Amino acid sequence: MTESLSLALQIAAIGLPVMIAIICVFILLAKLLVAIFPHERPKPAADMRGINPGTALNQGTVRSNQASSG
């Protein structure tokens, strides 16, 4: 019983730091990739197409255009 427990503790004592080191390596690789290939955040859809059709500014310009043309 104590031999198997001792073996389990030895495996955990070796395995845990190794797993932490592997995770750290993956994090550093991800940071390196982001530094090499910087990514832009996608803009919201409202910024891509200009002013939203439902905004008060756009409605006012539509009304003034209709009044002047009509």
Can you spell out the DSSP letters for 10-60?
HHHHHHHHHHHHHHHHHHHHHHHHHHHS--PPPPPHHHHSSS-TTSHHHHH
pLDDT of residue 48: 58
pLDDT of residue 51: 59
Give the pLDDT mean for 3-31.
93
Greater confidence (2 vs 19) lies with 19
Band of the pLDDT at 25, cuts 50, 70, 90?
A: very high
CA atoms of 61 and 63, how far apart (whole Å): 5
DSSP assigned state of 63: H
pLDDT of residue 19: 96
Enter the tokens of residue 50: 């200009």
